[in-house]
A and B are shown apart, each in its own frame.
Chain A
Amino acid sequence: MRPKPPPAPPRSLEEELQDAVEAVAIGQNLRPGLPGAVATAARGVLLRRGFGKSQVNVRQEGAGLAVSIQLIDGRATLVRSIHLSVEGL
């Protein structure tokens, strides 16, 4: 019997966010609702990870989208800022 492969290492928040926004955006034409869909995908990851308060902004940058995420704690203090980009839509 072959031993089970070791479990995949846990993905970082940045990796999970990047995968989520790419899954929504890659191969899509830019549409008015696409930035919103990207933001929703990012918020889904944040909620699953237990980040209740965040600000997600998506805007065009060149031929892609730039995603800016700010995680905020209960005192409305910025605790972490994450920047992602999706190229070649």
Chain B
Amino acid sequence: MAVWLGKTEPFKFSWDDLVRQGSTFWDGVRSAQARNNLQAMAVGDEFLLYHSNEGLAVVGLARVIGAARRDPSAEEGDDRWVGVDIAPVAALPKPVSLKEIKADPALMGMAFVRQSRLSVSPVTDAERDRILALGGLSLPPAAR
């Protein structure tokens, strides 16, 4: 099982929207590297949701419930872009801010910190466990 992080602007789509809807199709990605990460996702993978632009924090843990398929929000005939289906698992009782992440030796090297414009990025098991611990969420450790 792999772990990923997806960024969303909460004034467009937030963790609360995901919880309210029960699931969503994570679409709208228009970067080749992020697209490759979406394509690498498998059902059951974990998906940390990060609020960008406003909030600037990891706010919840979701799970991939549907593997990559064509993104219908892409222009007609443009089959390069994909999305995945995700569903919420649990909110972090204490959102983990970007400031905390950058200050934490175990997290400062996270892919989404190093490549700040990458909207979907891989997360190591150790990073996932550390974020959940900082966020006060008690779940079994990640096992790849």
Contact = CB atoms under 8 A, between A and B. Distances in A.
- A and B co-occur in one complex: yes
Interface of A: 29-37, 40, 58-60
Given A36-B28, A37-B28, A31 B75 contact: no
Interface string B6-20: 101001111001000
B73 A37 contact: yes
Given A58-B12, A59-B11, A60-B12, A33 B21 contact: no
Interface in B84-130: none
Interface of B is mostly: loop
Please indicate which of the listed interface residues A32, A34, A35 has the most CB atoms of chain B within 10 Å of its own CB: A32
Contact of B73 (A29, A34, A59, A60): A34
Contacts of B14: 60
A33 B11 contact: no
A31 B23 CA distance: 9
8 nearest A-B residue pairs (beta carbon):
A33-B28, A33-B27, A37-B73, A35-B12, A32-B13, A33-B73, A59-B11, A36-B28
Interface of B: 6, 8, 11-14, 17, 21, 24-30, 71, 73, 75, 83
13 contacts: A30-B13, A31-B25, A31-B73, A32-B8, A32-B27, A32-B28, A33-B25, A33-B26, A35-B13, A35-B28, A36-B30, A37-B28, A37-B73
Nearest to B29: A33
Contacts of A58: 12
Nearest to A58: B12
Contacts of B30: 36
Contact of A29 (B8, B12, B21): B21
B60 to A, nearest CB: 14
B49 to A, nearest CB: 10
A15 to B, nearest CB: 23
Given A36-B73, A37-B73, A40-B75, A30 B11 contact: no
Contacts of B25: 31, 33
A36 B30 CA distance: 10
